[in-house]
Amino acid sequence: MGTANNRKSIFITGAASGMGRESARLFRQKGWFVGAYDVNAEGLRALEAELGADNCVVRRLDVTDKADYERAIAEFGACTGGKMDILYNNAGIGVGGYFDELPFEDILRVVGVNFIGVLNGIHSAIGLLKATPGSLCFTTSSSSATYGMPGIAVYSATKHAVKGLTEALSIEFRRYGVRAADVLPGLIDTAILPPGTAERAPKEGMFRLIPPIEVAKVVWEAYHSDKLHWYVPSEIAELDKAAGNTPELVREQISSTMTFADEVASEKK
């Protein structure tokens, strides 16, 4: 376990793979001290070896366990002198299928990781963020937070909740000098995608396949900006605008693509 030694620091959940792992790599390259957390202990060990033990602290963490989250935050603070420049709430899971056909325990599991886990993280870390000038509370939302998506309704609902929470906290936390922002990624090439999705993804347009490093770059940019919502790719912003202005039209457009949604739902069962 390393110590920050006056370096800036970032606390990343879901760090063992995908967007979290790429963010850990990027911030290490930028000279930051990295806290990497995930339920995937093997992935964390590999990441620690890559980053160097003096440059990071890695720890298994189930974000739904508030008490353990608080312990992880305390341990991180002990390594950073009680500071945290970025809290990156990135951990998330997806369970596809039609809402009425899903086991209710699967629904609650998605809510637990994707939203309760974010609440646990922010509530546990706010003390360190308040103690750090210019700090940022950053969270992974989703393009599915622009309009409720069939086949992943609960996932989509949790990401809407994350987006709304971010907007509210971006105002509330101003009294501490803490910023809040989120990223709304489209189709990112990570393990959360069901088998075959990458091969069927369009080659262009807002739902083309995007490498996870592009999200990591956005986390870096967000730290140096006061922008609230970040879209990857940027065209997702147009869907967000359309969903707000003409939700009925977007509903019909999405309904016309239900064949793809049916395929995703059946593969995720």
140: β partners? 183
Mean of pLDDT values over 131-157: 96
Average pLDDT rounded to a whole number, residues 189-199: 63
Alpha helices, DSSP H, located in 137-257: 153-172, 197-200, 213-223, 236-245, 247-255
Phi-psi bin for 81: left (phi > 0), alpha (psi -120 to 50), beta? left
Lowest mean pLDDT segment, chosen from 94-98, 138-142, 143-147, 252-256? 252-256
Task: Show the domains of the chain with their CATH numbers.
Answer: 9-268 (3.40.50.720)
Which backbone phi and psi does 14 adopt, to 5 degrees? 65, 40
How many Å apart are CA 25 and CA 15, to the nearest integer? 10
Q: Please report the pLDDT score of residue 143 as a whole number.
A: 94
Give the other-Cβ count within 10 Å of 1's Cβ: 14
Type and span of the H or E element at 19: helix 18-29
Encoded tokens for 238: 């147009």
Q: How far apart are CA 165 and CA 149, in angstroms?
A: 19
The model's confidence at residue 268, banded by pLDDT at 50, 70 and 90, is very low
pLDDT average, residue stretch 205-226? 92
Q: Is 69 a catalytic residue?
A: no
Report CA-CA distances (Å) from 264 to 94, 96, 268.
Answer: 11, 7, 6
Portion of the chain with pLDDT greater than 70, in percent: 90
Q: Who wins on pLDDT, 29 or 207?
A: 29
Q: Is 90 exceeded by the pLDDT of residue 204?
A: no
pTM: 0.91
Least confident of 49-53, 160-164, 249-253: 249-253
Burial class (CB in 10 A: 0-12, 13-18, 19+), 119: middle
Place of tokens 């596809």: 96
Instruction: Exactly one of 69, 88, 147, 155 is catalytic; name it.
Output: 155
* Spatial distance between the Cα atoms of 164 and 248, rounded to a whole number of angstroms: 21
pLDDT digits (tens, 9 = 90+) for 227-248: 999 999 999 999 999 999 999 9
Q: How far is CA 157 from CA 63, 121, 164, in A?
A: 18, 19, 11
Count of CA atoms in the C-beta half-sphere (13 A) of 171? 4
The average confidence (pLDDT) of the chain is 92
Side-chain-facing half-sphere of 132: CA atoms under 13 Å: 26
Q: Per the omega criterion (within 30 degrees of 0), is the bond before 233 cis?
A: yes
114 in Cβ contact with 39 (< 8 Å) = no
pLDDT computed for residue 229 by the predictor: 98
Task: Say if residues 186 and 143 touch (Cβ distance below 8 Å).
Answer: yes
What span, in angstroms and rounded, lies between the C-alpha atoms of 55 and 93? 28
